[in-house]
Amino acid sequence: MIPDDALRELSMMLGERLSTGKSDLALHGRSETWHPEMPPDAVAYPTSAAEVAEIVRLCARHGVPVIGWGTGTALEGHGSAPLGGLTVDFRNMAAVLEVRSEDMLVRVQPGCTREALNTELRATGLMFPVDPGANASLGGMAATRASGTTAVRYGTMRDQVRGLEVVVPDGRIIRTGTMAAKSSAGYDLTGLFVGSEGTLGLITELTLRLHGQPEAISAAICGFPSTEAAIQTVILAMQMGLRPARIEFVDATTAAILNAHDGASFAETPHLLLEFHGSEAAVTEEAARFGDLAAESGGTSYQWATQAEDRTRLWRMRHRAYHTILASRPGATAVVTDVCVPISRMGEAIDRAARDIAASRVSGPILGHVGDGNYHAILLVDPTSAAERAEAKRLSDAMVAHALELGGTATGEHGVGLGKLHVMEQEHGAAWDIMGAIKTALDPDRIMNPGKLVRQN
């Protein structure tokens, strides 16, 4: 809720850049996945960190919830407004501020998307590698500690964010980190804000690491007789020090759906999709070594694609897979799981999940970023069927429980938001109280993205 006097003050401050239109509110209450719509009471479109600070101070004075918004592509209801309040949409703060080629760094505003950044970088020989699929905003990606297909080589957002400018809950603007490659100067506040999902403050600027555009890229596809054989190949490759830029797993069900609905022609068995980055010589050596390992594990039909068009087609298909799978059952909505396990236990974990899903009343192909031990079941449910929704929740919770048993985590990359709140205590035990203590210390009135991530009481 926003009290009338607060709304009036906001309106005076922002003019046209404060919106209370129904459709705008609805848009900012929606999630990509199954989460119910929870709209804010107003949406602000600030243009500077100073303005964000002014907004936060005003909201703090009136006890108004403040929710950050990038592109709305988060999957666990991160951007929803369960208590109403003000959504701060960063679309007007989307500039690339400075490219520092020699330092391989860039300073950006939070609303800049990863594709916009890479377009800007094209002529520099540099690139920003993190690729969660969606063309998300970089502020949102940092806030949710996003990763995706390329993390196996380049790391996650945790590894890319060198420094931040943040408006903290009392409205002060702080800077974390530096432009230096490393620092031991106290607590790692940058790392604390990355993944804090807007519950500790709003990111108003990011300093990000860049990487050289690879001299050569090649892609490969390989079918396997079993999940176990595919995963074993991944484990051996990692142990050997191979570092493909992507190692994606699709199970037999996903292969069948891609054949039927996206014009693919996979054998209907588990597959690995790979990409290699490096010098010509390094890429050739790495792809050949991977092919040898795959053959030893019973891999079939190892195919390379060095042509850009073939690669583009492959990764478009992979990135589209979520929507292709969703479309394979018209009218369905998806509950997407996101566990991440130690890679030694990944084969058994995927097999168990697949058996549980097969024995259930819903369908759910499995695919994932297996170089990191992270995979997703796309559980397809009829949104009008309470029984199917409950079944999907049961399957998802079972996958989480098994992942925790194996030393893994409930969420490899999608985050907590609303969707994983109920398993945080199970995963962290007393450490969740420490998170709560940090939240209380920095945001005693709980105005920043309330209802998410920490214990609610």
Does position 456 interact with a second copy (CB under 8 A)? The reply is: no
- Residue 380 as a binder of a second copy (CB under 8 A): the answer is no
CB atoms within 10 A of CB 362: 21
CB of 435 to a second copy, least distance (A): 5
Restricting to residues 110-169, name those near a second copy by CB under 8 A.
125, 144-147, 151, 156, 158-159, 168
Q: Hey, which residues between 311 and 370 contact a second copy (CB under 8 A)?
A: 338, 340-344
Q: State both tokens at 342.
A: 């130690």
Which H/E stretch holds residue 287?
helix 280-296
> How many chain residues bind a second copy (CB under 8 A)?
92
Closer of 105 and 366 to a second copy (Cβ):
105
Binding to a second copy (CB under 8 A) within 396-415 occurs at 403, 406-415
Q: Which of 382, 432, 445, 446 binds a second copy (CB under 8 A)?
A: 432
| Cβ distance to a second copy smaller for residue 18 or 247 | 247
- Least distance to a second copy, CB of residue 454, Å: 8
Over its C-alpha atoms, the chain yields an Rg (Å, rounded) of 22
What minimum distance in Å lies between the beta carbon of 311 and a second copy? 19
Residues 2-21 that bind a second copy (CB under 8 A): none
- The distance of closest approach from Cβ of residue 151 to a second copy in the complex, given in angstroms and rounded to an integer, is 6
Question: For residues 363 and 374, which CB has a smaller minimum distance to a second copy in the complex?
Answer: 374
Pick out residues in 281-300 that bind a second copy (CB under 8 A).
281-282, 285
Query: Do 28 and 73 contact (CB within 8 A), yes or no?
Result: no
CA 357 – CA 335 distance, rounded (Å): 12
Q: Rounded to an integer, what distance in angstroms lies between the CA atom of residue 146 and that of residue 70?
A: 13
- C-beta of residue 245 within 8 angstroms of C-beta of residue 154: yes
Which parts of 220-279 interact with a second copy (CB under 8 A)? 235, 238-241, 278-279
Q: Which of 378, 365, 371, 376 is nearest to 410 (CA)?
A: 376
Strand order in the sheet with 246-250: 300-305, 216-223, 271-278, 246-250, 366-369, 374-381, 333-336
We find the least distance from the C-beta atom of residue 161 to a second copy, in angstroms, to be 11
Out of 373, 419, 450, 451, the residue judged to bind a second copy by CB under 8 A: 373
Phi, psi angle pair for 248, to nearest 5°: -105, 135
Residue 189 in contact with a second copy, rule: CB under 8 A:
yes
In the complex, minimum distance from the CB of residue 338 to a second copy, in angstroms, rounded to a whole number: 8
Strand spans (E) along 77-130: 86-89, 96-100, 105-108, 126-127
Q: Which is nearer to a second copy, 342 or 383 (CB)?
A: 342
**Closest distance to a second copy from the beta carbon of 126 (Å):** 8
| CA 327 – CA 316 distance, rounded (Å) | 16
φ, ψ (nearest 5 deg) of residue 366: -120, 135
